[in-house]
Amino acid sequence: MEQKQVRVRFAPSPTGPLHIGGVRTALYNYLFARQHGGKLIFRIEDTDSQRFVPGAEEYIREAFDWLGIRFDEGVGFGGDKGPYRQSERRDIYKKYVQQLLDEGKAYYAFDTPEELDAKRKEVENFQYDAHTRHLMRNSLTLPADEVKGLIDSGAQYVVRFKIEPGEDVHVDDIIRGDVKINSSVLDDKVLYKSADQLPTYHLANIVDDHLMEITHVIRGEEWLPSSPLHVLLYRAFGWADTMPRFAHLPLLLKPDGKGKLSKRDGDRLGFPVFPLEWHGASGEVCAGYREDGYLPEAVINFLALLGWNPGTDQELLTMDELVNLFDLAKCSKAGAKFDYVKGLWFNREYLQRSDNARLAPAFDAILRENGIQAPMERVEAVVGMMKMKKINFVKDLWPLCDFFFTAPQVYDREDKFVRKNWKEGTADDMRELAGLLAGLTDFSVESQRAVIDAWAESTGKKPWNAWRVALVGAGKGPDMYELAAFLGKEETLARMERAIAALQ
């Protein structure tokens, strides 16, 4: 039998910035699609006009651009199963709602919000279902001509799905196995609202997954409770044969306790829960991974391992390796703790592996903020010397690197490192060292090393820390030869002279 081409979708609702859990969902869909030579579709589920937030769709696209998650079809990507924005598919949904009504699988309900509220007060744990629908105002209880009259006169109504009670509904989940729920616990879900002439999430989601020939629905655990309803809808439409397979991904949990990861955890512990910075309409700003200085491949690698792992010790994985190794069936059922400290570690690792030229512009911007303008190749050289120090972000370089660009202004005798390394007789050693350096015509690392190492060896002197005091003013920085070569002969000797004078 010919295997159907894998088609998966990421279907966000544009209600604000995309949460990092949504990014993980999109990533798993992307990995799964690529590993099966399939297609990833980008669908916008914007049927809830009340919750629509301008700019959210653009934000989501920009986030995936940055992260390198590419779509094959969908809003902004073309494809022959569009439109891919649900608000542009009203007529399609109407037709399918009508099908269910015509076949008696759905019904009109005219109950006003006030009537529903009154019922909820009257009946404990009221649920609109097989046991209560006969008490309500709907096309199952009202005479046909009255129903027609109400609709013709423009009365507001909803269409509800008529769920038959007492049946075990099975959801075959790739991660969770057979999930069983009895249909009696489900309510007659609203599928359509005349007020905005739009379907609800459930109807639109099922119709679109069907028409877009989705083969696998990979989404967050929060959608698991909706899935029995979705199974029943597929069946009601007669699409059970082509129903996609489900995979409900584990929740992302707080780093330090029980419960779902929230924005508050990020604010409290100081890490972003959004891929990009978000500027809300009321002026609030939410931190983003990009603006905080994370590299996209670090974020991808970190997220990929929240809920799945390759079963080996290997933690650093490129996108291509992830595509090869990822296994949907091996995702965990249990929630994944959002270990943001691990996220910092990933960033550090990727920073150290990045080309200096890639990191230099970000460092250059920080230098400029501090009033320093340097040629880009010098900025790159400093990044190269210092990125292996334990820094998590490019911005951490500045306090470690100021001396490359500005000579120490004062030499603090009370500084521990200075006190320990500048003693009686140090000034004489430094004069001698300066004399040797002055004699070099080639000031490269190798040439310095040959002469100074030999001198140190024959005299038994260890000039390195005192030399560091002179050039840096403190106990930090790279290898001394590298630093001196970077500064050049003139600047190196000038700093040594000033230190000798100041510390006499």
Active-site entry in 263, 389, 395, 461: 263
In terms of CB distance, is 214 or 385 closer to ligand GLU?
A: 214
Q: How far apart are CA 379 and CA 389, in angstroms?
A: 16
Tokens of 264: 């508050």
CB 207 within 8 A of CB 99: no
Rounded to the nearest whole angstrom, what is the least distance from the CB of residue 62 to ligand GLU in the complex?
18
Beta strands 39-42 and 7-10: pairing type? parallel
Report the greatest alpha carbon distance in the chain: 111
Assign 334 to helix, strand or coil.
coil
List, in order, residues 6 or more apart from 244 with CB less than 8 Å away: 209, 214, 215, 216, 217
φ, ψ for residue 339, nearest 5 deg: -85, 85
Tokens of 296: 């996209």
In terms of CB distance, is 15 or 132 closer to ligand GLU?
A: 15
Name the amino acid, one letter, at 41. I
Helices (H), 242-317: 263-269, 296-304
Give just the sign of the alpha carbon dihedral 380, 382, 385, 386: negative
In terms of CB distance, is 137 or 263 closer to ligand GLU?
A: 263
CA 40 to chain centre: 18
List, in order, residues 6 or more apart from 133 with CB less than 8 Å away: 107, 140, 141, 160, 162, 188
Tokens 């005299």 belong to 459
Q: How far apart are CA 364 and CA 138, in angstroms?
A: 68
CB 189 within 8 A of CB 206: no
Sheet strands (E) in 110-221:
158-161, 168-173, 177-182, 190-193, 198-199, 216-220
Tokens of 396: 């951490």
263 as an active site residue: the answer is yes
Rounded to the nearest whole angstrom, what is the least distance from the CB of residue 41 to ligand GLU in the complex?
11
List, in order, residues 6 or more apart from 25 with CB less than 8 Å away: 10, 218, 219, 220, 249
Rounded to the nearest whole angstrom, what is the least distance from the CB of residue 45 to ligand GLU in the complex?
4
Q: What angle do CA 147, 153, 155 make, to 5 degrees?
A: 70
CA proximity to 45, closest of 100, 98, 76, 88: 88
Say how many CA atoms lie within 13 Å of 81 toward its Cβ. Answer: 18
Q: What angle do CA 395, 275, 356 make, to 5 degrees?
A: 35
Residues of this chain that interact with ligand GLU (CB under 6 A) are 11-13, 45, 205, 219, 223
In terms of CB distance, is 273 or 480 closer to ligand GLU?
A: 273
List, in order, residues 6 or more apart from 379 with CB less than 8 Å away: 360, 363, 364, 367
In terms of CB distance, is 7 or 468 closer to ligand GLU?
A: 7
Q: Give the residue numbers marked as catalytic.
A: 263
